[in-house]
Amino acid sequence: MHDEIAVRDATRLSSKLIYEVIRRDGDEELERPFRSLVWSGIAAGVLIAFSVLGEAVLRTHLPDTPWRYIIENLGYSFGFLLVILGRMQLFTENTITTILPLAAERSMTCLMSVMRLWTIVLTANIIGAAGAAAFMAFSGAFEPGLLSVISDLSHHATGFPAGQAFFKAIPAGVLVASIVWMLPGQKGGELLLIVLFTWLIAAGDFTHIIAGSVEMWFLALRGDLGVGPAVFRFFIPVLAGNIVGGTLVFALLAWGQVKDEVEPATEPDTAG
């Protein structure tokens, strides 16, 4: 009996079990009340600002050396740790959690539920990001040197041409979806997993729609970024790239590897 328990505890979760955990989480998210989604989404938009702030703080205090870039990007993990471990609603997580129930059910009702959740969470995330950016820009809580670094980071994050921003957003969507897929199999390693994968987003210079929205709003509120570039050069391309990476690439590949295990085989009709 003890050996059986030890083997069970040592065995990694199968892809089928991971799928089932995420699918059930997705079903629960799709059924959450409007108000719960809004407040959770706003909280995520506010807290993700600590990714921008963390990176800026490290850059401000580290010496200007070739290795500074590697270390400062660890600050990008702070906001994601707060959001993911705090179970807040982050839009890019929902590109996989809600897609797996949709892939299984394949109904118009489920599709409309996914569109409802995506719309609510994305809007709430952007509102939260705007609030956090306004606080950073106008509260007086941050030293001019730190604000200058935040501005530099923001100009870089929002300054790519639209096509490049789109393609840079695809790996970020894949990596966030990968975190969601891998978390159920972690036993005490959640923090390291989130830190490593989100560090890679920053170190790889990939673009994330919600963390990047904090930077977009920061520049826009200070008059350094116009509406046209903010929407058409940053927001729409990065949003599309994150969705492609999280949904069309990772979520559908994840669904493909478990589809035959979770869907009953159709028996041929031999009657008559």
- Structural domain containing residue 102: 13-259
Predicted local distance difference test score (pLDDT) of residue 254: 76
Q: What is the 3-state secondary structure (H, E, C) of 49-89?
A: HHHHHHHHHHHHHCCCCCCHHHHHHHHHHHHHHHHHHCCCC
CATH number, domain of 189, equals 1.20.1080.10
Residue 272 resides in a domain: no
Number of domains in the chain: 1
Residue 268 resides in a domain: no
Residue 2 resides in a domain: no
| 175-213 pLDDT, tens digit each | 999 999 888 877 778 899 999 999 999 999 999 999 999
| 73-95 pLDDT, tens digit each | 999 999 999 999 998 999 998 88
Instruction: Using alpha carbons, select from 124, 135, 164, 148 the residue that is nearest to residue 44.
Output: 124
Predicted local distance difference test score (pLDDT) of residue 252: 77
Predicted local distance difference test score (pLDDT) of residue 266: 43
d(C-alpha 95, C-alpha 186), whole Å: 21
Q: What is the pTM of this model?
A: 0.88
Predicted local distance difference test score (pLDDT) of residue 20: 85
Residue 65 resides in a domain: yes
Residue 144 resides in a domain: yes
Question: Coil, strand, or helix at residue 32?
Answer: coil
Residue 269 resides in a domain: no
Residue 7 resides in a domain: no
Residue 215 resides in a domain: yes
Q: Report, as ranges of residue numbers, the positions in the chain whose pLDDT lies below 50.
A: 1-8, 10, 265-268, 270-272
